[in-house]
């Protein structure tokens, strides 16, 4: 079964929008596979403060409605993850 997840990437990454467009609607076998693509495309390092975040649709709606996500500081995409 595939599950849809929202991915937010900080605008601090110069290619954040392009990466969001690259992964949009793609299916990944696991979060690890998605993380590998993001690490490669964004050149992420463990100490980066603004790591991409993943949300289920419900959690994303809650975070937005509670105003915990600053939508002006992130680009947004969605992906499908198999077998979650």
Distance CA 14, CA 27 (A): 24
Report pLDDT digits (tens) over 31-55.
999 999 999 999 887 788 889 999 9
Instruction: Work out the angle between the directed axes of helices 31-42 and 16-23 (0-180°, nearest 10).
Output: 150
Q: Is the pLDDT of residue 65 over 80?
A: yes
Phi and psi at residue 83, in whole multiples of 5°? 55, 50
- Rounded mean pLDDT, 76-83: 94
* Residue 2: per-residue pLDDT: 66
* 28, 79 contact by CB (below 8 A): yes
* Residue 1: per-residue pLDDT: 57
Of the candidate ranges 27-31, 34-38, 60-64, 80-84, the one whose mean pLDDT is the lowest: 80-84
* 28, 80 contact by CB (below 8 A): yes
């Amino acid at each position: 079964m595939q599950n849809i997840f929202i991915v937010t990437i900080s605008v601090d990454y110069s290619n954040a929008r392009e990466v969001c467009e690259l992964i949009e609607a793609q299916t990944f076998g696991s979060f690890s596979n998605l993380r590998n693509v993001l690490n490669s495309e964004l050149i992420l390092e463990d100490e980066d403060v603004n790591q991409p975040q993943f949300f289920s649709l419900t959690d994303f709606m809650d975070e937005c409605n509670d105003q915990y996500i600053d939508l002006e500081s992130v680009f947004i995409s969605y992906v499908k993850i198999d077998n979650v």
